[in-house]
Amino acid sequence: MKVVIQRVSKAHVTIDKKIMASISQGLLIFLGIVNDDTIEDISWLANKTANLRIFADENDVMNKSLLDVNGDAIVVSQFTLHAATKKGNRPSYIKAAKPDIAIPLYESFVKELEFVLGKTVQTGEFGADMKVELINDGPVTIIIDSKNKE
């Protein structure tokens, strides 16, 4: 399981010209799932994301987490995070989990993140053609892969 986390001052997800999710200060989280991801990946990654110290403290040092600043989150499924680009110029998505595996894991990740944060997490729509707009604050962009936790 892989995430691309962007610290944002605002972000929103639009589907068919309708805003489906919108936040101010917080994290925009793109989530990619592979076939061998498990509930352990979900738990570890949700906790890591919520506690990642990438928000400024009173000394303007990145020392506060999403929990500390009571920020919001949007989670967007993105199978392209697992693109294989080694051969040729057309990415292969063979590693990305199919919907029957990915949807339950995506939904579980959102629920786990909500549990850790103690608040509702907004989402896009799995498999939809989404337009994502954001103002990356910093810019701060972090990539975390649950397979590299050790």
How far apart, in whole angstroms, are the C-alpha atoms of residue 13 and residue 31? 14
Q: How far out from the chain centre does Cα 40 lie?
A: 16
- Catalytic residue from among 14, 38, 80, 85: 80
Residues in CB range of 126: below 8 A, 6 or more apart: 77, 99, 102, 103, 106
Residue 86: how many CA atoms within 13 Å on its side-chain side?
3
Q: Which two tokens stand for residue 118?
A: 């103690």
Is residue 49 part of the annotated active site? The answer reads: no
Q: Which two tokens stand for residue 58?
A: 């009173």
Q: Which residues are catalytic?
A: 80
